[in-house]
Chains A and B, each alone.
Chain A
């Protein structure tokens, strides 16, 4: 029977309304290289996310059409792995480590402080699009626990206060810019 209309509707709900049309031609070089080699779906999705910052539904449909993989499979893979996002993220992504060492050393309190400072919950983006707050399983910097990573930079030995100061510092820089 395939995907019914209702199912299609449900799928659309999971994606935000695109503000601007997605330029699918950006994906051409990637598809040219990988579309025909079996088992490359994850690589294609990774490259697509690098291009668009997230995986818009049009892109998933396009990948399915060009690789011959069923749309449901493409969607299934995209939702299975934590690396893939179906919604855009803010300008600065805060990755708060939830590894065991960080947990033992108080990462929960850092999360409380960050949520309070940014007025968002885990996984959300601030209304101004500046920050996205995400948990990660382990950043592997256990000796510096608790740790968070923002834009590839790692901040260690955090206290709730220090975490707030770091966020304020970035906000200030943004306002100045």
Chain B
């Protein structure tokens, strides 16, 4: 038996380290000799901190664990051998509903193995894929296997992986490089981080297989500096693989040599764009350049370079081990396999899920994600981050595959799925994303640099209640021009949130402009907080919590808010136990 504590960034944030030390303390007090280890995120982020009790091949997962619960779990389960049923959120016999519809390939080891122990990875078939490739397959056969799997780039564009590999293999020039794009910058997407933190060896193995297939000897992982835990675990993984002779020279008794090193990014969203990433690797400002030549022909230091993201590489060892056909059994005709999504926003079960392509958005959000927080009405789901768009509720039966999502005006992107309910203002969402892309534009193209800025100004104006009738037309034409006039994916996709919200939620824009009203009651300039006299019980809590002291009243009298000084922070609404504070 052993105990594993979920210590992905989300687990740590929810207090996992404290739980770990309490467990160690309690075990010491009872002089119980039980192994305690850490594991990555299994995806049940909404139930963090998680504690797994592992008995042989059985796993019991305890959720929302508090220090008080720890002693009970240890006494009853670890020592008494009977699981504490009421705290178990999922077990290998009765998996949580969230886990049931999932098929885990990229996330196959996340939350199960100790990412800092290479034996855990090897114990689950790790490094078998590269061994098979090196000892029994030619470069071409490896690429054929990837082609048979139908794997497409999971970073967002969905480009066939085998094609990139083949192009790099055939390109003249040496040395060749394998680069991993671990610069996950989409706000709301964290699958790459989870893989890096929970199963770093699968990335290393995926890169090695790519290296073998294209004829490269060096791999570079470009990882965000904002992911310190991921960097630490990658360093450990590389060290362990080298010590075992799994990285280095003459691997598996062949003449294949491969090394991997880490390069830290320095915070620039545009570096997710492959040509910008290469510039950054070379120590320059991360500005994209015109393609072609593609990195496959001329990449890092002008040499043939294959770039894929973390999730793409993480699928590769599984494909080599089980065969391309096994992977292609999942998914749709053009979108094979599974995809990892980060569910967040107004959703009950926020976290990471991996599902076969082709499931509908409704199934993902309701059957797996548990539906909307507070059982409110779903309004839209935002996919693809700042480059994506908002899919309205009436299109929830859209299957999740590259082509169908693109048809709605959104994109698959790296797989962020932000769910929005009726309290989310769509104009504000468009403004929010534009604000992001405008700040992150590298400035090379005028359309991207200035076009996004002008668009943001218009959106700011509309949310402040100063919108003009002609704004929508200007916004739309600017959006289309920025799309056309930009060099790289950032500028080409930056207008998507605006275009999709204009398409599906035009009424909300019009209400802001014509009626100076925010239908979702979100935009501060267009709302007022008032106290419903009928509901107010004069408890005075709101007045106590008001940071600017504009709420007045006395015992037995309903309270009221002086509008002139109100900063609309919403504290009063939040603390009122009777729901008496309303938004007009």
Contacts and interface: CB of A to CB of B under 8 A. Distances in A.
Bound together: yes
B45 A142 contact: yes
How large, as a class, is the contact surface on chain A?
35 or more
A161 B186 CA distance: 28
B569 A112 contact: yes
Given A81-B266, A160-B574, 12 more contacts: A42-B264, A42-B266, A82-B266, A84-B266, A99-B188, A100-B188, A101-B187, A105-B345, A138-B189, A140-B190, A143-B10, A160-B571
Contacts of B433: 100
A159 B574 contact: yes
B267 interface: yes
B57 to A, nearest CB: 28
B284 to A, nearest CB: 7
Interface stretch (A18-26, A33-41, A86-94, A167-175): A33-41
Q: Which of B188, B269, B418, B574 has the most CB of A within 10 A?
A: B188
A156 interface: yes
Q: Sort A-B residue pairs by CB-CB distance and give the 9 closest, nearest first.
A: A143-B45, A154-B13, A81-B266, A143-B350, A142-B344, A99-B187, A101-B344, A82-B267, A140-B190
A160 B570 contact: yes
Contact of B571 (A136, A137, A161): A161
Interface of B: 9-10, 12-14, 45-46, 48, 184-190, 193, 225-227, 263-269, 280-286, 301, 342, 344-346, 350-351, 382, 385, 416, 418, 420, 424, 429, 432-433, 436, 442, 545, 547-548, 567, 569-571, 574-575
Contacts of B436: 98, 137
A41 B283 contact: yes
A164 B282 CA distance: 43
A31 interface: no
12 contacts: A41-B283, A77-B285, A100-B432, A100-B433, A101-B188, A103-B432, A104-B346, A104-B418, A137-B185, A140-B190, A142-B344, A143-B48
Nearest to A79: B285
Nearest to B373: A105
A1 to B, nearest CB: 22
Contact of B281 (A39, A80, A154): A39
A108 B31 CA distance: 49
Contacts of B264: 42-43, 46
A160 B569 contact: yes
A126 interface: no
Given A101-B344, A109-B570, A77 B10 contact: no
A45 B547 contact: no
A39 B13 contact: no
A84 B265 CA distance: 11
B10 A113 contact: no
B569 A113 contact: yes
B186 A142 contact: no
B345 A104 contact: yes
A86 to B, nearest CB: 14
B274 to A, nearest CB: 16
Contacts of B268: 80-82
B346 A140 contact: no
A36 B496 CA distance: 43
A93 to B, nearest CB: 13
A144 B192 CA distance: 18
Contact of B263 (A43, A81, A99, A103): A43
Contact of A143 (B46, B184, B424, B574): B46
Given A82-B267, A101-B188, A143-B48, A76 B285 contact: yes
Contacts of B48: 143-144
Nearest to B574: A159
B13 A101 contact: no
A137 B416 CA distance: 14
Contacts of B185: 137-138
Nearest to B13: A154
Nearest to B349: A143
Nearest to B197: A140
